[in-house]
Amino acid sequence: TLIHLTFIHEYGSNNPLGITPNCNKIPFHPYFSLKDILGFTLLLLPLTTIALF
């Protein structure tokens, strides 16, 4: 059973072909970083406008 558990955790339990799935490897940096920076600036702009005027 130890060998069976090793192979399940190595390739994934729902992977009958035994290939490594690339669908879980979505790049984080360019998409989510730009989205977070845009959201931060859109929230910070009205707050600084209210605070300074």
Does the pLDDT at position 5 exceed 60?
yes
What's the confidence (pLDDT) of residue 47?
Answer: 97
What's the confidence (pLDDT) of residue 34?
Answer: 92
Does the pLDDT at position 41 exceed 90?
yes
What's the confidence (pLDDT) of residue 48?
Answer: 97
Encode pLDDT of 7-33 as tens digits.
Answer: 666 655 566 666 666 666 677 788 889
User: What does the domain layout of the chain look like in residue ranges?
Assistant: 2-52
Q: How far apart are the first and last CA of the chain?
A: 69
Comparing 44 with 6, the larger pLDDT belongs to 44
- Using CA atoms, how far apart are residues 17 and 8, in angstroms rounded to an integer? 12
Task: Supply the pTM of this predicted model.
Answer: 0.48
